[in-house]
Amino acid sequence: MADLTITAANVVAATGANIIHRTAGATITAGQCVYMSSTTDRAMLADNNSATAEARTPVGIALHAASSGQPLAIATSGDITIGATVTAGVVYYLSDTAGGIIPVADLGSGEYPCTIGIATSASVIRLGIQASGVAL
């Protein structure tokens, strides 16, 4: 398998999801995993095999597109319609493609597993972001 193919227009946070508002530090699309840069205090694309631990630790999922310098809403917990087909009960992880999301089966050697959440239906992921801090 590969990264989820996300239709950005279909990414929607459910009622009760925790949403934070930050400034984008890169071009970001809805459904991408982002982390907060400590040097710029801006949202950047997270990546599970980055040389920087900070980039391997996302804070959430972007809810809309933003270019660098624009405001960005980020879902950090709760349910999110991810805009892709997922499998209920499968755990999804941060990808080694910047901003991407993969199923657990696609984690590879040298990657730093970071749980994004678990699918609760064919289109919803319940966010539960947790970085392992160790490489496979």
114 pLDDT more than 70: yes
Decide if 136 is inside a domain: no
Domain ranges, residue 40: 8-131
pLDDT at 92 over 80: yes
Mean pLDDT lowest among 95-104, 105-114, 117-126: 105-114
pLDDT value, residue 86: 97
The verdict on residue 14 lying in a domain is yes
Residue 127, Cα to own-chain centre: how many angstroms?
A: 9
**Model-level pTM?**
0.94
Question: How many structural domains compose the chain?
Answer: 1
> Model confidence over 5-47: pLDDT tens digits?
999 999 999 999 999 999 999 999 999 999 999 999 999 999 9
Residue 3 lies inside a defined structural domain of this protein: no
> Residue 63 domain-assigned?
yes
126: domain CATH number is 2.40.300
What's at 35, amino acid-wise? Answer: Y
Q: DSSP readout, 30-81?
A: TT-EEEE-TTT--EEE--TT-SSGGGGS--EEESS-B-TTSEEEEEEEEEEE
Task: Look at residue 83 and tell me if it is in a domain.
Answer: yes
37-74 pLDDT, tens digit per residue, is 999 999 999 999 999 999 999 999 999 999 999 999 99
Straight-line distance from the first to the last Cα atom of the chain, in angstroms, rounded to the nearest whole number: 18
